[in-house]
């Protein structure tokens, strides 16, 4: 219960990677593989290459049909696709940027709440440590819920009665916030917090609830499917027909130009898919595991608690997520 202390245990972390790169020379950046979405679309570009080569060999038969595709309609369509892709990528990056700001605000609220409690409740270290445990559990539970992963590891530090209680919630993060609110109310009832201080600390919980709702909105409301679908179909239809329009003028250069143009459009489409879901496990998604780990380290250090995890550090341009 809120007045009962318990021992927190380190959380399980998932070993996935996020690209954390130092500044690179422009020439070296041309050959970057990881984080460039090229690994995801390499097979599609290879199919475009095979199609372009096949079109070259089929050119004599293709000319006998009396059908000739010119580059002009593809130029007009290419401009339209580029504008649409730019709009979609901007919309997806706005989701990514908002998610980044929400998690930054999450760190600020938790650190501010702990700092205030440590300053005011100097004679209640046991109770403060319990509140810190609640904050860490809440952040890790939110991370796992946003990634649609089991949250058992996040709730493991709770006593068995509270763990069973949280398991009954549709959204366990709400349950943990309730425990935090009950903890504050108990400190207020026993006279440790004045009305003004209680209101100020309660405001931090309201901010956390708003952050949680913002993250859930991003995770549960993607861009309209019909818009993404029509753009996706248009891009791939464009890339399939492009070799037929290029072969008459470029002949043996058709594969090179076709693959390069296809890379531009398909890569932008794939990048938008990554940015649209910023809480996922892709290379360019938010490093939520690292953020939760750093938050736990900060709160434990503020409480002068040596039971803290090891900081996740970049290694060979990667960082654990």
Identify whether the C-beta of residue 18 lies closer than 8 Å to the C-beta of residue 285.
yes
* 273 domain residue, yes or no: yes
Other Cβ atoms within 10 Å of 60 Cβ, number: 7
* 270 domain residue, yes or no: yes
Q: Provide the domain limits for residue 193.
A: 17-320
Nearest to 286 by CA among 153, 134, 104, 85: 104
Q: Please list, in sequence order, all residues whose beta carbon lies within 8 angstroms of the beta carbon of residue 92, skipping any fewer than 6 positions away.
A: 223, 271, 272, 273, 275, 276
* 11 domain residue, yes or no: no
* 55 domain residue, yes or no: yes
Distance CA 16, CA 148 (A): 15
Domain total for the chain? Answer: 1
* 2 domain residue, yes or no: no
Tokens of 70: 């010119």
Report the C-alpha dihedral over residues 135, 141, 142, 143, rounded to 10 degrees. Answer: 110
Q: Please list, in sequence order, all residues whose beta carbon lies within 8 angstroms of the beta carbon of residue 106, skipping any fewer than 6 positions away.
A: 139, 142, 208, 211, 291, 295
* 259 domain residue, yes or no: yes
Q: Please list, in sequence order, all residues whose beta carbon lies within 8 angstroms of the beta carbon of residue 233, skipping any fewer than 6 positions away.
A: none
Tokens 């919630």 sit on residue = 169
* 7 domain residue, yes or no: no
Digit-coded pLDDT (tens) for 264-285: 999 999 999 999 999 998 888 8
Q: What is the pLDDT of residue 2?
A: 47
Distance CA 143, CA 111 (A): 17
What is the length of the chain?
Answer: 321
Digit-coded pLDDT (tens) for 135-157: 999 999 999 999 999 999 999 99
Tens place of pLDDT for every residue, the chain, 321 residues?
444 444 444 333 333 345 455 566 666 777 776 668 888 899 999 999 999 999 999 888 877 777 777 888 888 999 999 999 999 999 999 999 999 999 999 999 999 999 999 999 999 999 999 999 999 999 999 999 999 999 999 999 999 999 999 988 999 999 999 999 999 999 999 999 999 999 999 999 999 999 999 999 999 999 998 888 999 999 999 999 999 999 988 889 999 999 999 999 999 999 999 999 999 988 888 999 999 999 999 999 999 988 888 887 654 434 456
* 38 domain residue, yes or no: yes
């Amino acid at each position: 219960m809120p007045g009962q202390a318990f021992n927190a245990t380190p959380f399980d972390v998932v070993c996935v990677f996020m690209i954390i790169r130092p500044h690179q020379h422009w020439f070296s950046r041309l050959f970057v593989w990881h984080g460039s979405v090229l690994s995801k679309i390499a097979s599609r570009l290879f199919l475009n290459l095979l199609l372009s080569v096949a079109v070259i060999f089929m050119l004599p038969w293709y000319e006998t049909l009396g059908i000739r595709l010119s580059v002009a309609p593809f130029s007009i369509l290419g401009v339209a696709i580029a504008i649409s892709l730019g709009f979609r990528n901007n919309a997806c990056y706005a989701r990514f940027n908002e998610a980044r700001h929400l998690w930054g605000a999450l760190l600020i609220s938790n650190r501010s709440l702990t700092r205030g409690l440590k300053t005011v409740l100097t004679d209640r270290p046991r109770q403060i440590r319990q509140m810190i445990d609640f904050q860490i559990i809440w952040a890790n539970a939110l991370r796992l819920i946003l990634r649609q992963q089991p949250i058992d590891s996040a709730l493991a530090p709770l006593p068995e009665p509270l763990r069973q209680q949280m398991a009954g919630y549709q959204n366990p993060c709400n349950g943990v916030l309730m425990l935090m609110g009950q903890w504050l109310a108990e400190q207020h009832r026993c006279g440790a917090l004045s009305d003004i201080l209680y209101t100020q600390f309660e405001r931090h919980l309201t901010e956390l609830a708003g952050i949680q709702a913002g993250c859930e909105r991003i995770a549960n409301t993607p861009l309209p499917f019909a818009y993404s679908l029509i753009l996706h179909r248009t891009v791939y239809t464009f890339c399939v027909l492009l070799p037929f329009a290029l072969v008459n003028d470029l002949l043996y250069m058709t594969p090179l130009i076709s693959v390069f143009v296809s890379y531009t459009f398909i890569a932008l489409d794939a990048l938008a898919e990554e940015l649209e879901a910023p809480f996922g496990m892709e290379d360019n998604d938010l490093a939520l595991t690292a953020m939760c780990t750093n938050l736990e380290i900060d709160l434990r250090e503020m409480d002068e608690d040596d039971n803290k995890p090891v900081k996740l550090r970049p290694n060979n341009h990667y960082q654990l997520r």
